[in-house]
Amino acid sequence: MSQVVSESFHAWQTAKETSDFKKFAPSLKKLVDLKLKECELLGYADHPYDALLNQHEPGLTTKQLVVLFTKSRKKLVPYVKSIFAKEKINDDFTKYHYPKQKQWDFGIELLKQMGYDFEAGRQDISSHPFTINFNSRDVRVTTRINENDVCEMIWSCIHEGGHALYEQGIPFEDYGLPSGEYLSLGIHESQSRLWENNVGRSMGYWKRNYNDLLELFPEQLQGISVNEFYKAINKVEPSLIRTNADELTYHFHVMIRFELEVALMEKKINVEDLSAEWNKKYKEYLDIDVPDDRNGVLQDVHWSHGSFGYFPTYSIGSFYAAQFFNQAKIELPYLTADIAAGNFLPLLKWLREKIHQHGRLYTSAELCKKVTGKELDFNEFMNYAKEKYGAIYNLNS
């Protein structure tokens, strides 16, 4: 497996550079065959994909995911289509030239504001943002800066900051024990998505931070109100690239990958057909014509690492995030006002107490029930989406 993963990663890099999936397919086929053998060795009750899911989200099954994604597809697709029918929001000003150093300085301030401890970590630049930890007192983050898109840096910093706050909140004295480790990728993603979307894309957050951004970039944001900026950063539109997608259409990208992975494990499609199947699903879900393999089936690194069963945790994380945040608002009645004032300590304390401190003493389902009183409920995310985007796109009337 190690040898084939190494070979596969290099083949993926070459294939992406030349935008030719055929250069990656032979290595990927070896990897898929090995993954199928791994499923048999690990064991599963109903579906081989369960064995892969269990490595990233213990206890979650393919059957449960199919039910969850079927419900989300049924509710999200028509809602997003109603948004597409509305007048498009202008976000051109986010694509002006924003100097790198000024962006970097702003990102550092956002991390400090969230409560990220720079005595127990640092930030650096990378082409693909990530968080790495060695223990709760050494948790490092990276961000990506595009001088022609200020949003990439902002969301990278907040997203990775959310991951890092989780790791910094795990009890240091329990290092090496289950109580000193993160619970699952879905719960990890819930922390990054909660900060990125529920907090960072909220109006209150920008009531506090927009003037600081305006002071740094007066020319780029000249004449742009905080309300216009808020709408621009929450613009919903179909896109080719998963990592650049808005928080609603993002889940279509995840569903496509999930369906393709399951089909591979069920041997219903061949690796050689992945590019064509990918393009077909993007047309079906997002009405997008994929121009080439680089922007299509080769855009993510995950499969070259053998990380099958990983993608669903991104959507699960967003759904958990909405449910956790809704509960936080119930238990912290001044939360919205605190966010607008730049006071994130009450929320961070709540997350530390309810989620971070428990490590992996519970399953994700158990923790969700302990925190919110019920298991994961997609309706919580849908209600959040309708309240937020109904107001932005004037749908609530």
Q: Tell me which residues are annotated as active site.
A: 160
Q: Are strands 138-143 and 123-125 parallel, antiparallel or unpaired?
A: parallel
Question: In the chain, which ranges are continuous DSSP H helix?
Answer: 2-18, 25-42, 48-56, 62-84, 100-114, 150-169, 185-193, 203-216, 226-233, 250-265, 274-286, 312-331, 335-340, 345-354, 364-372, 378-392
Phi, psi (degrees; rounded to nearest 5) at 202 = -90, 155
- The DSSP call for residue 359 is T
**Length, in residues, of the chain:** 397
User: Residues 80, 249: contact at Cβ < 8 Å?
Assistant: yes
User: Residues 128, 301: contact at Cβ < 8 Å?
Assistant: yes
The end-to-end CA distance of the chain, in Å, is 55
Closest CA to 259 of 274, 244, 238: 274
User: Residues 337, 203: contact at Cβ < 8 Å?
Assistant: no
- The DSSP call for residue 170 is S
Q: Take residue 268 and report the two structure tokens written for it.
A: 């219903």
